[in-house]
Amino acid sequence: QPSNGGAKAGAVKTTTDDAQNGNGSQVGGNGNAWSPSSWQSKPMKQSVSYDDEKAVEKALKKLESLPPLVTAAEVSKLRANLEEVALGKAFLLQGGDCAELFDYCTEEKISAKVKLLLQMSMVLIWGGNIPVVRIGRMAGQYAKPRSSMTEIVDGKEVPSFRGDIINGFDLSERTPDPARLVSAYYHSATTLNFLRGQLSSGFADLHHPFEWTLSHVQSSETKEKYQAIVNSITDTIRFMHTIGADTSSSLGTVDLYTSHEGLLLEYEQGLTRLLRDPTDGNKSKWYATSAHFIWIGDRTRQLDCAHVEFFRGIENPIGIKVGPTMRGEELAKLLDIVNPNKEIGKVTLITRYGADKVNELLPGHIEAVVQAGHTVDYKLTIQCSYRNTRSAPTGVKTRQFDNIMIELSNAHNIHQKCGTHLGGVHLELTADAVTECVGGSENLTDDDLSLNYTTYCDPRLNNKQALEAAFMIAAWYRE
Ligand code: PEP
């Protein structure tokens, strides 16, 4: 018996963007029986057409036979952590590559990303004086929604790159290949294995001082400010070591959860398992075991479509991206579908409007969720991300560091005015010294973009910009 409860190995969805627009008139599937494959009866955005259905079925059978990547106990622990975030007792830091490639599954890249997330979290803990819940956008962020399914390369129309789980970036690999579904599993498993090993063998041990390089910071005033924060963090760790307070096991390691956009439902279905609920041994629940946390993208959140149908049945904490076209009543209905019992910490809204729109749009969305009873009886986490992409003169996509920070800081201020709180931040970042976003304390300009522009999708904050974002956010809480 397949461990995902006998769900039919994904009949290949061949529908393209044929879904009705989620206009809120019909609540998709609510109240109907749910199964890991019930999404297949719904229209789907961003679906993938495979040429070889037999190969897809074979890949899905394989996925169904493989062990879960994450356990119900880990997912349950994250839900408890996110409950603290929703109640304002912890802050959520989520970050990683825009599109994670299979090639990023190396010791060097994984270690660097983990180190960056840990450093950022220490700065944020210092700033807010509350624990930070860390979720990597990694070990599975292999599928990307695209605004166009084709692009013109050298005058020829070719299928767009949609992430390593679907096709390859190289022009010879643009046809969706079902074998990539299983390859994604193994790359996730290998990344997770190394991550778990590193964390449990002292990599995150706070006794080992991190290297805090601030030499790139051009403004002496800013450098002084950051140096003061670093000094304060290192002094605190030293003090705790001196008095012996750092012998507690909780300082020896930290939790780092994994996440990705739950875009490719064939893959998610293949890894969905009925598992015993660790908080109530008499019950079994459905877990998406591809990651601890998955989110619905802004392009696939229509109420009556496949993604919302899949997400409403899983036990994991989930995210929902909220962009400028989301209407308030639509958001309220969406919350009712995916979280009918209004469970604290179950849903994280990830707002991303753009620096120019956040002031106009965020208050209305906060009001809509409050009206719907989703932040009165219980708290909902609203985390902030950003859009803010623009084309540089050379034609590559970039983001202005300042605009990202404006969007985040405006969101923080709006929450304060509305009596809610900014629960966390969701950042597209890399630990590599890339030049994809302009600005920051290195003062990168459009002319610098060609120096090390390596993203396969959207521009990411580099290691210094990401750390700087953490310094700036921490400072808001200290001011
Ligand atoms: C993403 O986070 O990779 C993404 C595509 O986001 P959104 O759905 O907000 O566009």
How far does the centroid of ligand 1 lie from the alpha carbon of residue 76, in Å?
25
Whole-number pLDDT of residue 26: 31
Whole-number pLDDT of residue 249: 52
276 annotated to bind ligand = no
**Of all atoms in ligand 1, which is nearest to the CA of residue 457?**
3
* Contact between residue 386 and residue 399 where contact means Cβ atoms under 8 Å apart: yes
Structure tokens at 180: 């990539």
How far does the centroid of ligand 1 lie from the alpha carbon of residue 21, in Å?
18
Residue 396 neighbours by CB under 8 Å, 6+ apart: 449, 450, 453, 459
312 annotated to bind ligand = no
* Ligand 1 residue neighbourhood (C-beta within 6 Å): 98, 144-145, 261, 297-299, 321, 323, 352
Name the residue with the closest Cα to ligand 1, atom 6. 297
Whole-number pLDDT of residue 381: 65
387 annotated to bind ligand = no
**Of all atoms in ligand 1, which is nearest to the CA of residue 426?**
2
Local structure of 386: helix, strand or coil: coil
Name the residue with the closest Cα to ligand 1, atom 10. 298
How far does the centroid of ligand 1 lie from the alpha carbon of residue 179, in Å?
24
**Ligand 1 site-directed mutation target among 261, 350, 429, most atoms within 8 Å of CB:** 261
Nearest CA to 99 out of 136, 145, 143, 134 is that of: 143
How far does the centroid of ligand 1 lie from the alpha carbon of residue 326, in Å?
14
**Ligand 1 site-directed mutation target among 296, 321, 457, most atoms within 8 Å of CB:** 321
* Number of separate helices (H) and strands (E) present in the chain: 12, 15
How far does the centroid of ligand 1 lie from the alpha carbon of residue 428, in Å?
10
Structure tokens at 149: 């399914």
Could you tell me the pTM of the whole model? 0.90
pLDDT in tens, 35-94: 999 999 999 999 999 999 999 999 999 999 999 999 999 999 999 999 999 999 999 999
ipTM, two decimals: 0.94
Whole-number pLDDT of residue 380: 57
Low-confidence ranges of the chain (pLDDT < 70): 1-31, 203-210, 245-253, 374-381, 386
Whole-number pLDDT of residue 449: 96
